[in-house]
Amino acid sequence: MGNAKLWGLKKSPWVFHVAAASCNNCDIEILDILTPRWDVERFGIVLVGSPRHADALLVTGVLNRKSLPRVISVYEQTPKPCLVIGVGTCTCHTHMFECSYNVVGPYDKYIPVDVYIPGCPPKPEAIILGVVKALKRL
């Protein structure tokens, strides 16, 4: 049973894109990996519109006071088991917004993040590599 569950999760991770107030560069790179050139549907990765259908959350952007409750509520709405993948340097730490009054700090203070993909923005190859590493960790 456990093996079947793991196989299913590894072969069809459906992705929900949580844009938590990023500058949009990471979002554009995420859209890139869905284009015919990189075609992640080869690995069964599909972008879904509702967090209820998702197995992995792609979070982008630096976490601030406005987006924090939204990110936590999206994480709670996602059926478990689910992966959280932080795309971009902003998700690793507070990046260049460290001294801002509005920034509440890195993601893993609030939700468990499985893998970080640094880069501002990361290349599509780097995002695919990060997702592969996240799936290997399962």
Q: How far is the CB of 126 from another protein (least distance, A)?
A: 20
Residue 3 or 101: the one with the smaller Cβ distance to another protein is 3
Shortest distance (Å) from residue 27 CB to another protein? 15
Task: Tell me the C-alpha to C-alpha distance, in Å, between residue 5 and each of 10, 50, 79, 99, 106.
Answer: 9, 21, 14, 43, 30
Compare residues 80 and 99 and give the one whose CB is closer to another protein.
80
Q: Tell me how far, at minimum, the Cβ of 35 lies from another protein, in Å.
A: 9
**Residues that bind another protein in the complex, under the rule CB under 8 A:** 1, 4-5, 7-9, 11-12, 14, 36, 39, 41-42, 44, 48-50, 52-53, 55, 77, 79-81
Those residues with Cβ within 8 angstroms of residue 22's Cβ, 6 or more apart along the chain or in another chain = 60, 61, 62, 88, 90
Least separation in angstroms between residue 36's CB and another protein is 5
CB closer to another protein out of 81 and 112: 81
